[in-house]
Amino acid sequence: MTDNTYDYDLFVIGAGSGGVRAARMAAARGARVAIAEAGPLGGTCVNVGCVPKKLMVYAAQFADAFDDANGFGWESTRPAFNWPDLIAAKDSEITRLNGVYHRLLDGSGVEIVEGYAILADRHTVVVGDKRFTTDAVLIATGGRPFVPEVPGSELGIVSDAIFSLPDLPPKVAIIGGGYIAVEFAGIIRGLGAEVSLIYRGPLFLRGFDADIRATLAGEMAKRGINLCFNMKVERLEKTPNGSLRVCGPTGDEVNTDLVLWATGRVPNTEKLCLENVGVSLGDKGEVVVDEYSQTNVPGIFAVGDCTDRVALTPVAIAEAMALVETLNNNPTAMDYDKIPSAVFSQPPIGTVGLTESEARSHYRRVTIYRSSFRPMKNTLTSRDEHTMMKLVVDGSTDEVLGVHMVGPDAGEIIQGFAVALKGGATKAQFDATIGIHPTAAEEFVTMREPVES
């Protein structure tokens, strides 16, 4: 992989999850590697995504724990919540992780270049007033929040900004219907604010299983989240008293103190000067790549969210690992089949495999198993929250095509079942597996009666 014609064998643009993994692994194989990053190391996931968001989910869950404690004999009242304390603790942890990433790169022999990188030509990367030559380039610049162009859109904030708010206002309106919208709805409601979730469609989380979507909507409504479906946002405006108003075209409106745009993300590619080398981009600005993550320009590659394939941190890391193999003369394509995912809503979602509608569109016979129950922990409390579990099975071969769950620890539970699906497990093998009692997870291996078609 080493070619002394250039300063580096591989120059990585973007020090997020995919870029850092590729840089470290390539350096471990003996390549001379540099990585450029304009912001803090770790990218979206570490700084304004997965990590701080999950910390906030934990914070929000304490509200339930305090409320439920009396049912288990604890004589207590819910203490006051302090938003600045949470933000300070979160900031401290993120700073620690930034340092971890720096040490990992240093320890691997990767040169860290601070600043925005652009491509001058096929083998030249420019960062500020410095020019670097390289044999191969990896674009791993991730994505950024998208805000629709409507009047007053600048009055709202995006998810990046929520992590540095000086305080949490009493009322928050969240616009969007994806996982970011429903996760922040649960977080902000759990931390004590009134929440309205505004979505233009009839039900959020498009692309997820229909039972997952309906179950979560019902549980979120129980928590007092105002679900405003079928409301298209026409404009945002400031009221005379300084609050905000979200207005729809038919007179619908939501009054709030803060508007959070959670209307999707777009690839972060516009400042790379990719036109200098003729790299093809898609309609969203995504870098178009083949199965080996190579662009139409030989030697220029891309992984992660900037390619708009599967926008998940573990996928970006896996794409990076496959790319390093490819660069070392072992062409390796990423396997996108049966990728598990979780939505850290409240209650959370875990899912792997096909939804029911996807299965019915591809298979002649589909059998569905579904169970809904009140978790054992809730039986001594007044909490009216239910768990829903679902299996999608090929009726001809008995292979389990999809596993879906809404309920506590859904992500933790589905991770194990993802291994089973990846191995082609059948419903008979699920049935033959002994459950761990008493747990919620055992329900997946004790469902015997299919629901009527």
80 Cβ contact partners less than 8 Å away, ≥ 6 residues apart? none
Closest CA relative to residue 141, chosen from 284, 307, 23, 373: 307
Helix, strand, coil percent values for the chain (each to nearest 5): 35, 25, 40
Q: Are 21 and 43 in contact (CB under 8 A)?
A: no
Residue 18 DSSP one-character state: H
Concerning whether 404 is annotated as a catalytic residue, the answer is: no
* β-pair partners for 143: 267
Q: Residues 102, 123, 386, 437: which is the catalytic one?
A: 437
For residue 438, whether the previous peptide bond is cis, meaning omega lies within 30 degrees of 0, is yes
CA-CA distance, 27 to 110, in Å (whole number)? Answer: 7
Buried-exposed string 366-393: b where 16+ CB fall within 10 A, e elsewhere: bbbbbbeeebeebeeeebebbbbbbbbb
Question: Which residues neighbour 281 within 8 Å (Cβ) at sequence distance 6 or greater?
Answer: 269, 274, 287, 288
CA distance 264 to 147: 8
- Would you please indicate which residues are annotated as catalytic (active-site) residues? 437
